[in-house]
Amino acid sequence: MKIKLLALTAENLKSCQVEVGARLLLAVSGGVDSIVLTHLIAELAKTNHYDYALVHLDHSLRGQASLKDYRLVEQLAKSLGCEFYGFKYDVPALAKQEKVSFELAARKLRHQLFAKVMSEHKYDYLLTAHHLGDNAETILLNLFRGTGLKGLSGIALQNGKIIRPLINVSKEKLYALANAEHWHYHEDVTNRELTYARNRIRRCIIPEIERHYNPRLQEQLAQTAEIIASEDAFLEKMAEQNLERLLKSGGNYCLLNIEKWQTIDIVLRRRMIRALYHRLRGSTYHLGFEHINMLDEWFVNGKIASKQHLFGLDFVLNQKQVSISLEHGEQERQEQMLALGEHYIIEYQLLFTVSDKVLDDTDIYLPKEQFSLGLSLRFPQPNDYMRALGMKGHRKSLKKIISETKINIAERKNIPLLAIRDEVIWVKGLRKSVYSKKNITRDDIIYISIKDMSREERTQV
């Protein structure tokens, strides 16, 4: 068993082009998988002259048990004669402060700390102990939440400087080797708690499928993920090549050829939008499937001279091309005047229809006299006020209305609203104004409907 896993680990490191004498930083939790990885690397270091060290983060989640994990890894490093980098953070408090899940806060913190150690001490690679079971859990978790091919590609053996030498080894084999060699490890009791989605997949769903449908589920998922990953890489390459052909730089902006865009299959166009954001913004964070579909629809069928702003990029649709630039300041983004007609606002996945004719799904009934003062879509401003339904026409500052909600303080300045000068007539997700009164049919009324296109998309699916 040990000889086979040593050979497999060595083969995986070789395929990642890890050279003799490389400096390796091992992320070690104290669980069976990272303990086995440590001992295997220690053995391989004897012939490959690896300069390796252990790094550990105490998440302050399990009291004395967390402290014991820390000491176990520290003592292991000492017995092997290698460097040890230990950290202790109150991750539950951090997660609460940042209003994210414990898992997300912990993962983000680990990445930051480990990257810092890598940089300061000049390690070549970070090795983690992800195994076959972790890969299966990730694939299923992404599938259940909704994903594209990349999410179904699972956990790669290598991602830049991060290598996972045990990714094709089952947890059962890791336990078998650790027990046979009498390597001391700790069990994390939180791995048994079914409050975490990943634990439910590991302890309930995977065993059920293996018992009743496919006993080799984890191996089959890994094989399927490998196929998907290679095809995903091929499509990604094609998307990059097409984007390179259609996109021309013009100094502070780029021009995208829309005539040629329409001749390309939608499968590649979606990827090209993601590639566009990677190229110009360096990230696709927040860019969802609905945003991509709506932006593509606007490229093809949008009105000439219409504009869009989406996650840091400004778009202007011309006859044969789209002009794309990085946003040039908040004011342009914060206020957009809405005239009669339809207005796609892709960033918020909203469709506004402004008409002087009665609409079946009217949300706002605005006197033409008010409309003539200018209807703007923007963000909250200091002097904003609203006359809400049920307040007998009395004014109330928008700041006070928002403060009475549970909306995060950091998000309050980014709530889209409709306003006539300082009077707010609609705010996304908040109470209705006096302009929302139903069944008003007069010649002096402008009718406004507001559709959440993300819900429309889900309904169609």
* pLDDT tens digit sequence for 35-62: 999 999 999 999 999 999 999 999 988 8
**320 with 395, same domain?**
no
Domain count, the chain: 3
430 lies in some domain? yes
343 inside domain? yes
pTM, 2 dp: 0.71
Angle, helix 289-301 to helix 453-460, in steps of 10 degrees? 100
Cα–Cα distance measured from residue 183 to residue 73, given in angstroms and rounded to the nearest whole number:
12
Domain CATH for 178:
3.40.50.620
Q: Is residue 243 part of a domain?
A: no
pLDDT category at 176 given cuts 50, 70, 90 is: very high
Identify the CA nearest to 130 among candidates 167, 159, 169, 158. Answer: 167
In the chain, the largest separation of any two C-alpha atoms, in whole Å, equals 88
Average pLDDT over residues 287-307: 88
Asked whether residue 240 is domain-assigned, the answer is no
Q: What is the mean pLDDT of residues 265-276?
A: 94
Whether residue 439 lies inside any domain: the answer is yes
- Tell me the range of 2-6, 38-42, 252-256 where mean pLDDT is highest: 38-42
pLDDT band (50, 70, 90) for residue 148:
confident
- Residue 295 pLDDT class (50, 70, 90 cuts): very high
Are 309 and 384 in the same domain? no
pLDDT over 90 percentage in the chain: 58
Structure tokens at 330: 């908040």
Residue 333 pLDDT > 60? no
My answer on whether 304 and 420 are in the same domain is no
Q: Across residues 345-363, what is the average pLDDT?
A: 85
Residues 216, 359 within the same domain: no
- Residue 58 inside a domain? The answer is yes
352 and 428 in contact (C-beta within 8 Å)? no
Q: Are residues 279 and 311 in the same domain?
A: yes
Does residue 277 sit in the same domain as residue 368? no
For 189-193, 205-209, 269-273, which range has the lowest pLDDT when averaged over its residues? 189-193
What is the per-residue pLDDT for 337?
Answer: 86
Helix (H) or strand (E) holding 344: strand 341-345
Within this chain, do residues 50 and 161 fall inside the same structural domain, yes or no? yes
Of the chain, the percentage scoring pLDDT greater than 70 comes to: 94
Distance between CA atoms of residues 177 and 2, nearest Å: 6
Q: Does one domain contain both 316 and 435?
A: no
Q: 425: domain range? A: 334-460
Say if 298 falls within a structural domain.
Answer: yes
Which is nearest to 225 in space by CA: 142, 145, 128? 142
**What pLDDT is attached to residue 331?**
41
Residue 349 has pLDDT above 80, yes or no: no
pLDDT of residue 327: 63
Q: Indicate whether 262 and 156 sit together in one domain.
A: no
pLDDT, tens digit, 9 for 90 and up, residues 359-414: 888 889 999 998 999 999 988 888 999 998 877 778 999 988 888 887 766 677 77
CATH number at 299 reads: 3.30.465.60
281, 339: one domain: no
Task: Say what the pLDDT of residue 457 is.
Answer: 44
Are residues 320 and 358 both part of a single domain?
no
